[in-house]
Structure 1
Amino acid sequence: MTMQKDSNKSLSILVNQTAEHNWLRLEEVWSEGLAQLTPAQQQELKTVLGLSDYVAAQLCRHPEWINRLFAGELSLIERKNFDLELHEVLSSATTEEMAKASLRRFRNYQMVRLAWRDFLDYASLEASLLDLSALAEALVICARDWLYKDMCAQYGTPMDKEGNAQPLLILGMGKLGGRELNFSSDIDLIFTFPEHGETVGGRRSLDNQQFFIRMGQRLVNLLDQVTVDGFVFRVDMRLRPYGESGPLVVSFSGLEDYYQEQGRDWERYAMVKARALGPWSHFSDELHSLLRPFVYRRYIDFSAIESLRKMKQLIAQEVRRRHLTDNIKLGAGGIREVEFVVQSFQLIRGGREPALRQQSLFGAIDTLYSLGQFEYLAVDELKHSYLLLRRVENLLQAIDDKQTQTLPNNPLDWARLCHVLDMANEVDLRTHIEAAMSKIHRHFKATVGGEEGEEKAEHWTTQLWHVQDIDDAVALLAEQQIDDDKLCPMLSSWRETVTKRSIGPRGRETLDKLMPRLLEELINQQSPSAAFEPVSKVLEQILTRTTYLELLCENPGARQQLVSLCCASPWIAAQLAKFPMLLDELIDPSQLYDTTSIDDYPSELRQYMLRVPEDDMEQQMEALRQFKLSQQLKIAAADVTGVLPVMQVSDHLTFLAEAIIEQVVMQAWQQVSVRHGVPAHLEGSDTGFAVVGYGKLGGIELGYGSDLDLVFLCENKADNSQTNGERPIEVGHFYLKLAQRILHLFSTRTTSGELYEVDMRLRPSGASGLMVSEIERFGEYQANEAWTWEHQALVRSRFVFGDNSLAVKFSRIRAAILEKPRDKTELQKAVREMRQKMRDHLLKASDGMFDLKQSPGGIADIEFIAQYLVLANAHEYPELTIWSDNVRIFGVLAELELLPMMSAQHLTQTYCLLRDENHRLTLQQKAGLLPVLEVEEHAERVLNIYRAVLE
Structure 2
Amino acid sequence: MERQQGLWLADLKRVPVQPPSRKAAASVISDMKTLGADHPSVPALTAGDSTVREGLVAVFSLSPFLRETALAHPSLVADLLARPIDGIIDEACLDARESWRPDEGGAPRSDGEVMAALRRAKRKVAFALAIADLLGLVTGAETTRYLSAFADAAVSATVDHLLLSADAAGKIRLEDRSEPSRQSGLIVLGMGKHGACELNYSSDIDLVIFYDPEVAALAARPDLAEDIARLLRRLIRILQERTGDGYVFRTDLRLRPDPGATPLAVSVDAAMTYYEGRGQNWERAAFIKARPVAGDLAAGEAFLKALTPFVFRKYLDFAAIADIHSIKRQIHDHKGHGEIAVKGHNIKLGRGGIREIEFFAQTQQLIAGGRMPELRARSTEGALAALAEARWIDEQTAAALTEAYWFLRNVEHRIQMVHDEQAHTLPKAEAELRRIALMMGFAGTDAFSDALSARLRTVERHYGALFERERSLSDGEGNLVFTGQNDDPETLATLSRLGFARPSDICRMIRTWHAGRYAATQSAEARERLTELTPRLLQAFGESRMADEAMMRFDAFLGRLPAGIQLFSLIASNPALLALIVTIMSAAPRLADIVAARPHVFDGMLDPRLLTELPDRSDLKARLALFLSGARDVEDRLDRLRIFAAEQRFLIGVRLLTGVADAETVGFAFTDLADLCVAAALDVAQDAMAAAHGHIAGASVAVLGLGKLGSREMTAGSDIDLILLYDHPDDPPDSDGARPLDAPRYFARLAQRLIASLSAPTSEGVLYPVDMRLRPSGNKGPLATRLSAFEKYQREDAWTWEHMALTRARGVAGDGALLEKAASTIARVLDTPREPDRLTRDIAEMRGLIAQEKRPYGLWDVKLIEGGVVDVEFIAQDLMLSAAANPALRPPAGTPTIAVLRQLGPALLGPEATGRLVEASTLYATIAQVLRLCLEGPFDRKTAPLGLIERLCRASGAPDLSVLEAELRERAHEVRAIFIRHIGRPVESKATTELGKPKL
TM-score range, shorter chain: 0.5 to 0.7
**CA distance in 2 between partners of 1:573 and 1:172 (Å):** 40
Match of 1:55 in 2: 66
- Encode CA deviations 1:615-635: one digit per residue, 9 max, x unaligned: 546599867644533565687
Q: Percent identity?
A: 24
**CA distance in 2 between partners of 1:485 and 1:336 (Å):** 33
Is 1:540 aligned with 2:550? no
Report deviation, 1:398.
1.9
Q: 2:314 aligns with which of 287, 298, 305?
A: 298
Q: Which amino acid aligns with 1:764?
A: P
Match of 1:507 in 2: 526
Q: 2:770 aligns with which of 758, 762, 773?
A: 758
Q: 1:352 aligns with which of 354, 361, 371?
A: 371
Report deviation, 1:172.
3.1
Question: Does the CA-based 8 Å contact 1:167-1:194 persist in structure 2?
Answer: yes
Q: Which amino acid aligns with 1:28?
A: T
Match of 1:436 in 2: 455
2:707 is paired with a residue whose SS is: strand
**CA distance in 2 between partners of 1:104 and 1:608 (Å):** 44
Match of 1:629 in 2: 650
**CA distance in 1 between partners of 2:897 and 2:434 (Å):** 59
**CA distance in 2 between partners of 1:625 and 1:923 (Å):** 30
Question: Does the CA-based 8 Å contact 2:467-2:473 persist in structure 1?
Answer: no
2:39 is paired with a residue whose SS is: helix
- Encode CA deviations 1:613-664: one digit per residue, 9 max, x unaligned: 58546599867644533565687899xxxxxxxxxxxx99898445522554
- Encode CA deviations 1:299-340: one digit per residue, 9 max, x unaligned: 211112223333444445567667883134334432222112
1:919 is paired with a residue whose SS is: coil
Q: Which amino acid aligns with 2:129?
A: L
- Encode CA deviations 1:566-603: one digit per residue, 9 max, x unaligned: 6887645423423557889999xxx99xxx9xxxxxx9
Q: Which amino acid aligns with 1:275?
A: R
Which of 14-23 and 810-819 deviates more? 810-819
1:24 is paired with a residue whose SS is: helix
Report deviation, 1:406.
4.2
Q: Which amino acid aligns with 1:175?
A: K
Match of 1:648 in 2: none
In the TM superposition, 1:154-303 aligns within 5 A as 156=171, 169-195=187-213, 207-236=223-252, 239-241=255-257, 250-252=266-268, 255-256=271-272, 259=275, 263-285=279-301, 287-289=303-305, 291-303=307-319
Is 1:799 aligned with 2:805? no
Q: How many residues align?
A: 814
Report deviation, 1:550.
5.6
**CA distance in 2 between partners of 1:233 and 1:562 (Å):** 34
Is 1:65 aligned with 2:65? no
**CA distance in 1 between partners of 2:525 and 2:247 (Å):** 51
Which of 330-339 and 219-228 deviates more? 219-228
Distance 1:246 1:579, change over 3 A: farther
Report deviation, 1:130.
0.4
Match of 2:126 in 1: 111
In the TM superposition, 1:492-531 aligns within 5 A as 494=512, 498-499=516-517, 501=519, 503-514=522-533
Q: Which amino acid aligns with 1:467?
A: G
Q: Which amino acid aligns with 1:302?
A: F
Q: Which amino acid aligns with 2:68?
A: A
**CA distance in 2 between partners of 1:247 and 1:751 (Å):** 48
Match of 2:916 in 1: none
**CA distance in 1 between partners of 2:139 and 2:443 (Å):** 21
1:298 is paired with a residue whose SS is: coil
Question: Does the CA-based 8 Å contact 1:761-1:767 persist in structure 2?
Answer: yes
- Encode CA deviations 1:333-360: one digit per residue, 9 max, x unaligned: 3222211211111111122233333321
| TM-score, length of structure 1 as denominator length | 0.66
**CA distance in 2 between partners of 1:13 and 1:522 (Å):** 49
Mind listing any 5+ residue stretches in structure 2 that lack a counterpart?
1-5, 175-181, 629-639, 687-701, 731-743, 812-819, 884-889, 891-895, 902-923, 946-984, 992-1000
Q: Which amino acid aligns with 1:3?
A: L
**CA distance in 2 between partners of 1:56 and 1:516 (Å):** 51
Q: Which amino acid aligns with 2:808?
A: F
**CA distance in 2 between partners of 1:495 and 1:153 (Å):** 65
- Encode CA deviations 1:137-176: one digit per residue, 9 max, x unaligned: 33344445545666777895599xxxx9977654433222
Question: Does the CA-based 8 Å contact 1:180-1:360 persist in structure 2?
Answer: yes
1:278 is paired with a residue whose SS is: strand
Distance 1:306 1:533, change over 3 A: closer
- Encode CA deviations 1:821-860: one digit per residue, 9 max, x unaligned: 9899xx89x999x999x89xxxxxxxxxxx9879xxxx99
Q: Work out which structure has the larger RCO, using CA pairs closer than 8 Å and 6 or more positions apart in sequence.
A: 2
**CA distance in 1 between partners of 2:127 and 2:781 (Å):** 67
Q: Which amino acid aligns with 2:145?
A: L
**CA distance in 2 between partners of 1:381 and 1:222 (Å):** 41
**CA distance in 1 between partners of 2:674 and 2:425 (Å):** 42
Is 1:362 aligned with 2:378? no
Match of 2:419 in 1: 400
Distance 1:131 1:306, change over 3 A: same
Say what the alpha-carbon RMSD is for the aligned residues: 6.4
Is 1:36 aligned with 2:43? yes
Question: Does the CA-based 8 Å contact 2:719-2:770 persist in structure 1?
Answer: yes
Q: 1:25 aligns with which of 27, 31, 36?
A: 31
Match of 1:125 in 2: 140
Report deviation, 1:389.
2.2
Distance 1:764 1:610, change over 3 A: closer
2:938 is paired with a residue whose SS is: helix
Report deviation, 1:58.
0.5
Q: 2:93 aligns with which of 69, 82, 93?
A: 82
Q: Which amino acid aligns with 1:108?
A: R
| TM-score, length of structure 2 as denominator length | 0.64
Mind listing any 5+ residue stretches in structure 1 that lack a counterpart?
597-602, 639-650, 677-687, 721-731, 840-850, 889-907, 927-944
Distance 1:154 1:473, change over 3 A: same
Q: Which amino acid aligns with 2:649?
A: K
Q: 1:660 aligns with which of 655, 670, 684?
A: 670
- Encode CA deviations 1:735-762: one digit per residue, 9 max, x unaligned: 9999999979965989986554231212
Distance 1:434 1:520, change over 3 A: closer
Q: Which amino acid aligns with 1:537?
A: A
Q: Which amino acid aligns with 2:565?
A: T
In the TM superposition, 1:797-876 aligns within 5 A as 799=808, 819=838
Report deviation, 1:455.
3.8
Question: Does the CA-based 8 Å contact 1:711-1:760 persist in structure 2?
Answer: yes
Question: Does the CA-based 8 Å contact 1:296-1:347 persist in structure 2?
Answer: yes
Question: Does the CA-based 8 Å contact 2:65-2:418 persist in structure 1?
Answer: yes
**CA distance in 2 between partners of 1:5 and 1:43 (Å):** 14
Q: Which amino acid aligns with 2:70?
A: L
Question: Does the CA-based 8 Å contact 1:189-1:237 persist in structure 2?
Answer: yes
Is 1:384 aligned with 2:403? yes
1:172 is paired with a residue whose SS is: strand
Distance 1:151 1:399, change over 3 A: same
Question: Does the CA-based 8 Å contact 1:711-1:762 persist in structure 2?
Answer: yes
Question: Does the CA-based 8 Å contact 2:16-2:441 persist in structure 1?
Answer: no
**CA distance in 2 between partners of 1:10 and 1:489 (Å):** 62
Question: Does the CA-based 8 Å contact 2:340-2:456 persist in structure 1?
Answer: no
**CA distance in 2 between partners of 1:339 and 1:743 (Å):** 63
1:121 is paired with a residue whose SS is: coil
